[in-house]
């Protein structure tokens, strides 16, 4: 078996430019940089239901995300694209991993603390054990690399700790994975509150730009993004978080450093800079949207998901069998 890369995104809403720049774009780059690896990429629908979801909306977002991955430029070669819940081993693995995960470790997870605070209808135990499900996703396929945004670093560290612990106890059962976090764009902030991450599930729709948003919406959102009243273009995340976030977006889109961008707009006003940024975003989204529309209702997309499921199932079920054997579950093989 080739070395592997694993990642996933939750279908909790329409994909925004933050997830694109911090994650999907990095998947595309990773696929090019590591052509000798096999990439297991999935739609993390089991993760999505750790908080309440409406059935029809979830279905729509699952299929949408599958088409978005491909529309953003991922190639079918060396890729298994699948829906997490369709490969039953993920749910099974979650339980096995939980048997090696400590309460104290889960209690320290900052994403859990943030999300639990936002849940008015009650916090589920699955929201608490979510990092064990995620560790299982990764370890099932012996991932060498896991491309993610900056906010997932802590979950990756926990995955590494669990893998090492299980390797020590059971003999070498897992590859210990390494995160791949992009240098720019790893944390794009909300357009309406630059102190919080741009997120799919933010109730304020003006806080983000969706990859499928129409041109006039994109321009409107950028023009009304929060900046400051100083009127000077400078990259200073501490004192000018709104403007610096827009510079980060421009930087990620154009592969120039944030400092170089600030320098070239030194004598411009915010309006000019925002208009240029909007143009850049619109041009980036146009080809993605075209490919998306040709894929979303195609048989090709279903075929890719079927093939991805079949191959992922084969690899994952082998790992589950191996773990059962190592743990002494069931009967001894003859
Ligand atoms: P939710 O709002 O449902 O928690 P989310 O918008 O935070 O979702 P995830 O599905 O948790 O998105 O993240 C998918 C991937 O995209 C992860 O690797 C994450 O690190 C990355 N990502 C998400 N939002 C951003 C962002 N604003 N900037 C950079 N990367 C991001
Ligand atoms: N928890 C991640 C999504 C996710 C994931 C994974 C990422 C679930 N399983 C495995 C990488 C590898 C998130 O919320 N962004």
User: Per CATH, is 3-185+298-327 categorized as 3.30.465.10?
Assistant: no
Ligand 1 centroid to residue 25 C-alpha, Å:
12
Residue 89: partners with Cβ closer than 8 Å, 6 or more residues away = 140, 313, 316, 317, 319, 320
Please give the pLDDT value at position 305: 98
Per-residue pLDDT of the chain (334 residues; tens, 9 = 90+): 899 999 999 999 999 999 999 899 999 999 999 999 999 999 999 999 999 999 999 999 999 999 999 999 999 999 999 999 999 999 999 999 999 999 999 999 999 999 999 888 899 999 999 999 999 999 999 999 999 988 999 999 999 999 999 999 999 999 999 999 988 777 899 999 999 999 988 899 999 999 999 999 999 999 999 999 999 999 999 999 999 999 999 999 999 999 999 999 999 999 999 999 999 999 999 999 999 999 999 999 999 999 999 999 999 999 999 999 999 999 987 7
For domain 205-293, which CATH number applies: 1.20.120.1810, 1.10.240.10, 2.40.50.150, 1.10.10.10? 1.10.240.10
Please give the pLDDT value at position 325: 96
Sequence ranges of the chain with CATH classification 3.40.50.620: 3-185+298-327
Sequence ranges of the chain with CATH classification 1.10.240.10: 205-293
Please give the pLDDT value at position 68: 98
Please give the pLDDT value at position 201: 81
Would you please indicate which residues are annotated as catalytic (active-site) residues? 115, 197, 200
Residue 20: partners with Cβ closer than 8 Å, 6 or more residues away = 72, 211
Q: How far apart are CA 67 and CA 334, in angstroms?
A: 45
Q: What is the pTM assigned to this prediction? A: 0.94
Question: C-alpha 159: how far from its chain's center?
Answer: 16
Q: Which ligand is nearest to the CA of 19?
A: 1
* Nearest CA owner, ligand 2 atom 12: 7
Q: Which ligand is nearest to the CA of 12?
A: 1
Size (the chain), residues: 334
Please give the pLDDT value at position 69: 97
Instruction: With CA atoms as reference, report the closest residue to 28 among 88, 79, 65, 103.
Output: 79
Please give the pLDDT value at position 159: 98
| Torsion sign over Cα 190, 195, 200, 205 | negative
Q: Tell me if 97 CB under 6 Å of ligand 1.
A: no
């Amino acid at each position: 078996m080739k070395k592997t890369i694993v990642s996933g995104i939750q279908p909790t809403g329409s994909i925004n430019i933050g997830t694109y720049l911090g994650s999907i774009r990095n998947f595309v780059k990773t696929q090019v940089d590591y052509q000798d690896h096999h990439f297991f990429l999935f739609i993390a629908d089991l993760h999505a239901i750790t908080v309440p979801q409406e059935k029809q909306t979830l279905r729509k977002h699952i299929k949408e995300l599958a088409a978005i991955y491909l529309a953003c430029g991922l190639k079918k070669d060396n890729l298994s694209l699948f829906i997490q819940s369709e490969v039953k081993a993920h749910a099974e693995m979650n339980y096995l991993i939980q048997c090696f995960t400590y309460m104290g470790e889960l209690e320290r997870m900052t994403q859990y603390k943030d999300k639990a605070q936002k849940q008015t209808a009650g916090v589920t135990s699955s929201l608490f054990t979510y990092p064990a499900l995620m560790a299982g996703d990764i370890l099932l396929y012996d991932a060498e690399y896991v491309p993610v945004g900056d906010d997932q670093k802590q979950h990756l560290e926990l995955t590494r700790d669990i893998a090492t612990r299980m390797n020590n106890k059971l003999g070498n059962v897992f590859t210990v994975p390494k995160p791949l976090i992009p240098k720019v764009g790893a944390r794009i902030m909300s357009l309406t509150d630059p102190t919080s991450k741009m997120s799919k599930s933010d109730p304020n729709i003006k806080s983000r730009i969706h990859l499928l948003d129409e041109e006039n919406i994109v321009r409107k959102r950028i023009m009304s993004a929060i900046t400051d009243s100083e009127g000077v273009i400078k990259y200073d995340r501490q004192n000018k978080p709104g403007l610096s976030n827009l510079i980060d977006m421009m930087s990620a889109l154009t592969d120039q450093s944030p400092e170089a961008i600030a320098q070239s707009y030194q004598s411009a006003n915010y309006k000019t800079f925002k208009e240029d940024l909007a143009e850049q975003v619109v041009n980036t989204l146009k080809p993605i949207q075209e490919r998306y529309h040709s894929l979303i209702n195609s048989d090709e997309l279903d075929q890719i998901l079927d093939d991805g499921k079949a191959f992922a199932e084969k690899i994952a079920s082998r790992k589950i069998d191996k773990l059962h054997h190592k743990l002494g579950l069931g009967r001894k093989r003859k």
